[in-house]
Structure 1
């Protein structure tokens, strides 16, 4: 048990420090406030484990040099890739805190009061998880997925064209046409998707606000169901939901802050960025097998990087996701290249 106490104290202390540092970096006042609240929540959890350790005469360890280096690493990632990816990296590979505190709250090694507080921390972690899921706009996701689509589709297109056309300029022009049409399609789709999501969430928020004025119990029941689905004990969920009814819409239906126009522009820009990468060798006049080789090489490397980032965003192992996306992209391109080659042989 002593190792578990020391480990949990250090984890909570680390989270307190990193969320506080991220809050200090944040310019958006709402996000800054949210991150400071999360930091204070983690400080409270660390203090709980310190009390546990003091009662049992356990010696705790503060953050060491390696921990501080890790914090600086995350701050650099924040500057380069944004808050969303930074938080996903922070959360990836860690044990589910809701399940962990639920398990700890059932252990006989803790007193009745300590088990009660562990259940309260479990509820904190449930709210924490929901907040982190909505802490930043999906701009990074739009950009990454847009690049991925552009890479795969245009790589397949230029690969097929190079199998049928010997001129690198014509292959490049054909790839650019495919890229331009895809850019328009993706941008329009992103606009409609974001606007639809925003409209639906706003409608749900208005309905819930009206429901609060008419039937508090119905709203409380929705909160109870929400917390229990996250793994929170039913009795604790009932107790917490009473004080959270007034802000239920922020928990159940967080506001969508993305601008449909901004989402559209980001998706379109990312798609064309990805689309240009497989075309680069042909723009430099490289044709034939060498053009195909360098196109595949550039697109493969870019797809692996993008796939790894998607792995981080989706909670999948980054290297596995990168290799999976790269292999699928190259297989699609090879298939299309074969069709182009056959077309050049059998069509007049």
Structure 2
């Protein structure tokens, strides 16, 4: 019984925390569309917290507001948003959370919540939409940077390690490493551009096709939404009930718009790759050669 009470209060607090975070992020967001999205998410989380408060009140449990530490965390996310942008902030926020869809699925299966089963399944659907919407706010540029710098480090480190065994002059090893780094930068940049452009074109085609389907046969769109939510583990009857109301935004759920700029992606990948490529070359630029140069390259990597 005590464990169940703690679970109710914990869920109430988590939903309240998410509500306040998204509300705060919405207030400082300059992009109109993203601000509306964050506002909708905050309202969704508020309704979830009200659900848990109702259950707590029924059981005579006293709900508390957010603690000082929670408010500090919200302030931290606000600072991160101003410094690093919304994409990274949401990525950090979601990384610290458990899978809410799975959580509510398990709660709906608990006999203690048999009376609230329908409402819990409805919240589970909200969370599925929530996760899909947040999937539109991707931190792909971060991924481009990480993969670029990682590839640059590994490939050029391997190259200079081999060159140092065959060439005694450290400056020639450094030049060789930089040439390999430059060619790798060009290759990675082109790859990132084509990959992002291709993904964007495919998604746009799918979205246009879906928009035409909405005009011709809305029932088909409803079926796609039902199947999508069912695959996420949501009760089919619940999915059937809410899918008609989501037809207007079906393309955002089924085929999220790719916001990444192919040129920007290419530049970030190229810049990060050459940055990674320069690091293992530094020991040879300062005059180290042979085994000392190899060891130094591995150490600074």
- Cα drift, residue 63 of structure 1: 1.7
Say which of 37, 40, 44 aligns to 2:43: 40
Select which of 280, 283, 298 maps to 1:281. 283
Aligned-residue offset at 1:39: 1.5
- Which digits, 9 at most, give the CA deviation of each residue in 1:266-287, with x for residues without a partner? 1111111111111122222222
Find the counterpart in structure 2 of residue 223 from structure 1.
225
State the alpha-carbon separation in 1 of the partners of residues 23 and 263 from structure 2.
Answer: 32
- Cα distance change of structure 1 residues 256 and 237 upon mapping to structure 2, 3 Å threshold: same
Partner Cα separation in structure 2 for residue 31 and residue 229 of structure 1: 27
Q: Given the alignment, which residue of 199, 204, 207 partners 2:206?
A: 204
C-alpha distance 23-274 of structure 1, shift in aligned 2 (>3 A)? farther
Equivalent in the alignment of 1:188: 190
1:108 corresponds to = 111
In the superposition, the TM-score normalised over structure 1's length comes to: 0.81
Q: TM-score, normalised by structure 2?
A: 0.93
**Any gaps of 5 or more consecutive residues in structure 1?**
300-348
Q: Distance in 2 between matches of 1:79 and 1:165?
A: 49
1:264 offset after TM fit, Å?
A: 1.2
Distance 1:276 1:124, change over 3 A: same
Contact 1:53 1:59 in 2 (8 A): yes
Deviation, structure 1 residue 66:
2.2
Instruction: Tell me the number of residue pairs that the alignment of Structure 1 and Structure 2 aligns.
Output: 298
What's the counterpart of residue 69 of structure 2? 66
Matched, 1:31 2:21: no
Which of 132, 150, 153 does residue 151 from structure 1 map onto? 153
Distance in 1 (CA, whole Å) between partners of 2:59 and 2:282 is 65
C-alpha distance in structure 1 between counterparts of 2:194 and 2:10, whole Å: 46
Say if 2:133 and 2:252, in contact at 8 Å, map to a contact too: no
> Which residue number corresponds to residue 169 of structure 2?
167
- Using a 3 Å threshold, how does the CA distance of structure 1 residues 167 and 189 change in structure 2: closer, same or farther? same
SS at match of 1:238: helix
Deviations 1:146-202 (A, max 9, x none): 111111111111111122222221111111101100010011111111111111111
Residue 29 of structure 2 corresponds to residue 16 of structure 1: no
Question: Contact conserved, 2:161 with 2:294, CA < 8 A, in 1?
Answer: yes
Instruction: Please state whether the residue corresponding to 2:109 is helix, strand or coil.
Output: coil
Contact 1:83 1:136 (8 Å CA) reproduced = no
Q: Any conservation in 2 of the 1:82–1:140 contact (CA below 8 Å)?
A: no
User: Distance between the aligned counterparts of 1:27 and 1:168, measured in 2?
Assistant: 51
State the shift of 1:295 in Å.
1.2
Please state how far the C-alpha of 1:9 moved relative to its aligned partner: 0.7
Note closer, same or farther for the CA distance 1:88–1:257 as it changes in structure 2 (3 Å cut). Answer: closer
**Aligned partners of 2:182 and 2:279: how far apart in 1?**
13
Q: Report the CA distance shift for 1:288/1:80 in structure 2 as closer, same or farther (over 3 A).
A: farther
1:296 and 1:250 mapped to 2: Cα distance?
45
